[in-house]
Chain A
């Protein structure tokens, strides 16, 4: 079945450690996104990529890094510079990020990161 796979589903990290969240899609979508969800704050955009080897900062990019070496993969690294990393992270994709896009995002099931 086509879709978006995020792993791991749950992750615990000690302060000062970097951690990488995986996001893979087999929908042949050009655009991919990372959102952070906190209680009462909805979803906030961290990074997005409209094409391979290119990505842009979203609204809360500080303390995060991404790469887009393959169309189907868009991993997110939460670095030690992120002051409050405990959150639920959602990866999404869309057909493309331009005028042809319907705006419909397809989401993974999320990764819950807890910093101990």
Chain B
């Protein structure tokens, strides 16, 4: 069975600090996909990134970066120079094979204080 663990329930930082959100996953499949979603206070989840299991290249998008390491089954998310608008709940998710049935982690509540 697949499982996603986000050990950090809540993180609080001051604006402009860098912050890393941890995600550890378990799966028996060799083909799988990893995702990060952001849930702002309005409630809807917003897609941030998708990674397949064969692509371990790290990715950077503006202030966001992702570090995928199969050796440690981790897919961590770093926000550089955090801003108040980054305050949200962030979810890591996993899907096995080709389907889009996602298993979500418990989420990390990030609060960025001015």
Contacts and interface: CB of A to CB of B under 8 A. Distances in A.
Interface of A: 4, 31, 33, 35, 40-45, 48, 58, 88, 90, 92, 94, 96-99, 101-110
B72 interface: no
Nearest to B107: A42
B99 A88 contact: no
A43 B100 contact: no
Nearest to A41: B106
Contacts of B37: 105
Nearest to A91: B44
A97 B106 contact: no
A105 B104 contact: no
B47 to A, nearest CB: 5
Contacts of B50: 102-104
B95 A103 contact: yes
A107 B44 contact: yes
Given A102-B50, A103-B35, A109 B42 contact: yes
Interface in B83-114: 91, 95, 98-102, 104-107
